[in-house]
Structure 1
Amino acid sequence: MTETENPETIRYTADVVATLGLFVLLIKRGWPPFEGAWALPGGHVDVGETSREAAARELREETGVLVDPGDLRQIGVYDAPDRDPRGRYVSVAYAVEVPEGTIAQAGDDAADVRWWPLSDLPPLAFDHADIIRASIHAQ
């Protein structure tokens, strides 16, 4: 990097593929970008927490679903430069199978929450369809 170049700002996030049998938990985004679109629960990693801890916290805040961070299985790291229109976001994605009878309800930043059949997903925000596919193939 030369002296005239500015380093790129990178934001660190975590996403969660929470499944219940053949269903995946999605939130309807209540804010831009992709306001009104379906997406995986997730968000920024806070100061002092790991991406795994952030994933469990975001899942709880956005859907009310509680999981132990240790139960989250890492799927991969998603860092394509154009994956988010707000700028450069690097996300660590996790998967977790939740117990039968798990109830989800829209919380922090989520306009709605729903269990969607993996075989009939709506159009998804960001690269979340790729993350879900990777999760399914990793099982």
Structure 2
Amino acid sequence: MRYTADVVVTTTDGHVLLIERGWDPHKGMWALPGGHVDPGETSRAAAARELREEAGVYAAPADLLRLGVWDSPGRDPRGRYVTVAYRLTVLPGTIIEPGDDAVRAEWWPLTDLPRLAFDHAEILRTVAPASALNQTA
């Protein structure tokens, strides 16, 4: 089993931060910033680190609010992955800079989302009602 952390970063005006994945699985698809928890690291610290590495957004681990745990057996094609997702709200205009395995980082309106990798649409539903989320194919 692998242990990961993801971050839902939203702006106060209804946008969410997504990164375009630079490699498989789901290369070229959009996803929440996140990644593996390193040995000796908490999931909250990993979430803050991955957010910084993939999108250039700096947040103290204590500023990340835990949303929950996602552990469906088929959520990742590489095998058994369990993720803890966190939430951060920022002001519109927060600067983002892609890095690490992110090809691009962009703010997307919650009402007009691309198709998302993994189960990230399910994670997003915890912060926005399904009726507000619109994923395009």
TM (norm. structure 2) is 0.91
Q: What letter is aligned with 1:127? A: D
- The answer to whether the aligner puts 1:64 opposite 2:56 as a matched pair is yes
Residue of structure 2 aligned with 1:118, choices 94, 103, 110: 110
Aligned pairs for 1:47-58 within 5 A: 47-58=39-50
Aligned pairs for 1:33-112 within 5 A: 33-112=25-104
Deviation at 1:100, TM superposition (A): 3.6
The count of aligned residue pairs is 128
Which consecutive unaligned segments of at least 5 residues does structure 1 have? 1-9
RMSD of aligned Cα (Å) = 0.9
**DSSP-derived class of the 1:136 partner:** coil
| 1:75-123 CA-partner distances (Å, limit 9, x unpaired) | 1100000000000000000000023431001101001110000011100
Runs of 4+ deviating beyond 6 Å: none
Residue of structure 1 aligned with 2:120, choices 109, 116, 128: 128
> How far, CA to CA, are the matches of 1:130 and 1:95 in structure 2?
14
2:3 paired residue number: 12
> How far, CA to CA, are the matches of 2:93 and 2:109 in structure 1?
16
> How far, CA to CA, are the matches of 1:136 and 1:48 in structure 2?
32
> How far, CA to CA, are the matches of 2:127 and 2:33 in structure 1?
14
> How far, CA to CA, are the matches of 1:48 and 1:102 in structure 2?
30
**DSSP-derived class of the 1:86 partner:** coil
**DSSP-derived class of the 1:13 partner:** strand
Give the % identical residues.
65
Determine which structure has more spread, i.e. the larger CA radius of gyration: 1
> How far, CA to CA, are the matches of 1:98 and 1:48 in structure 2?
28
TM (norm. structure 1) is 0.90
> How far, CA to CA, are the matches of 1:20 and 1:54 in structure 2?
21
**DSSP-derived class of the 2:82 partner:** strand
